Amino acid sequence: MIEGVAQATPLLLLYLSMEIKENTSLAPYTTLQIGGPAKYFVEVKDGEQLREAFAFAKEKNLPVFILGGGSNVLFADAGFDGLVIRPLVKGREVLTPDVEGAQTSGVLVRVGAGEELNDVVAWTVDSGWWGMENLSFIPGLTGALVIQNVGAYGQEASEVVESVEVFDTKENVLKTFTKEQCGFTYRHSIFNTSERGRYIILFVTLSLTKNGKPNIAYKDLQNYFNGRVPSQEEVREAVIQIRTGKGQDWQALPSAGSFFSNFRLSQNDFDKLLAHIASNFSPERASELLVLTQKIKAPSDDGMIKVPAAWILDNLLGLKGYLHNERVCVSPYHALNLINTGRASAADMLDLFRHIRQLTHQKTGLTLVNEPEFVGFKPEELKRYFALE
């Protein structure tokens, strides 16, 4: 035993170049501030340490969970009975010379997946590189851009990602994926669908432009600028103010961000929904939704019609500000944010999740899909929470 480590809590295990903690609470590593202990926990800084971490897990026959910024996950109260790896690969590098007066209008930047996303967005805006300003003030790390095809206010990661460097846990090698190989769709990529768990993001190369134009087609931004053409800095500041006004400051209100995905409906299903709303709520509500959907089209919609889940929960069901118990509630600012009001458990959060899903299904026929990943729960637990009665 290493001197000074024997009495440490949690226990520190020396494994080659890393310190692996034992029985580490996961709550402080998540924006929800919820979660029991990980049996083992380690932070890694490069591909070699990743190899070592997976060798440790294999040696002890442990399941592995990769934890990024903790903004899109809900850990069980029992924690995770395995190894949680938190990659913190840092670094920012300009690959295309950013020379004043150069003919090229684009710039390529390579960013470590462990860099704070909001800091990276601020860096690109300060540098005058367009393409990420609408993604301001989103919690989490840069690696999540690729995994979830992060999008907000009419802008998506798939529009700026050039390539991705990953560690292949199956073949134990480093690989590079092009944008096309990432398989981007709405809030998805191969990294959280067909190849979930296999690849760990190390670096993301972004293709930005020096001579961009503001993307303010999204309703909230249209209303904010009221016909005025803003600068890039003004777009970023507007997004920050809008998100803060909706209670989406993860530092002030512990949440996982948007807890539910927006609905993507075929034209036929959308027409049925409008008829249902007109019949069971009012024709005015149906017309309001029809107008709204025309203003929030995104590049990855692919002919589908996006219906904002927040509009359903707020305008139809009146759930904004709903207090489920003293520990969890629907944000009074934005209906997609479920808030830990203090001392909430994972069970508390999933009770609220279940209530909202069941009510939505009963009133509209729509089935809400969770955005955060639920980790450490037993299958029978999740079956109960996902049941639609």
Can you tell me whether residue 241 is helix, strand or coil? helix
79/76 Cα distance (integer angstroms): 5
Contact between 27 and 75 under an 8 Å Cβ cutoff? The reply is: yes
Q: 312 falls in which pLDDT band (50, 70, 90)? A: very high
113/115 Cα distance (integer angstroms): 6
Is the bond leading into 283 cis (omega within 30 degrees of zero)?
no
Phi, psi of 346 (to 5 degrees): -65, -35
Q: Return the pLDDT at 249.
A: 80
77/153 Cα distance (integer angstroms): 34
Q: Are strands 73-75 and 155-156 parallel, antiparallel or unpaired?
A: unpaired
Active site residue 187: yes
The type of residue at 193 is T
For residue 185, give the DSSP letter: B
Q: Return the pLDDT at 100.
A: 55
> Out of 86, 163, 165, 187, which one is annotated catalytic?
187
3/210 Cα distance (integer angstroms): 54
Strand partners, 84: 41, 65
> Out of 71, 258, 300, 331, which one is annotated catalytic?
258
205/112 Cα distance (integer angstroms): 9
In sequence order, which residues have a C-beta less than 8 Å from that of residue 125 and are 6 or more positions away? Answer: 132, 133, 136, 232, 233, 236
Give the pLDDT confidence of 97-149 residue by residue, as tens digits: 655 554 568 999 999 999 999 999 999 999 999 999 999 999 889 999 999 99
Give the pLDDT confidence of 254-310 residue by residue, as tens digits: 999 889 999 999 999 999 999 999 998 999 999 999 999 987 776 667 789 999 999
Q: Show the domains of the chain with their CATH numbers.
A: 12-87 (3.30.43.10), 92-245 (3.30.465.10), 263-386 (3.90.78.10)
Picking from 89-103, 176-190, 201-215, 221-235, which range would have the lowest pLDDT averaged per residue? 89-103
115/14 Cα distance (integer angstroms): 25
Active site residue 110: no
Give the pLDDT confidence of 152-199 residue by residue, as tens digits: 998 999 999 999 999 999 998 999 999 999 999 888 999 999 999 899
- Whether 6 shows a pLDDT value over 50: the answer reads no
> Out of 43, 156, 165, 371, which one is annotated catalytic?
371
For residue 387, give the DSSP letter: -
Contacts made by residues 210-214, CB under 8 angstroms, sequence distance 24+: 210/98, 210/104, 210/105, 210/106, 210/107, 210/128, 210/129, 210/130, 211/105, 211/130, 212/129, 212/130, 212/131, 213/130, 214/133
The residue whose two tokens read 């294999």 is 58
Active site residue 52: no
By C-alpha distance, which of 118, 186, 111 is closest to 149? 186
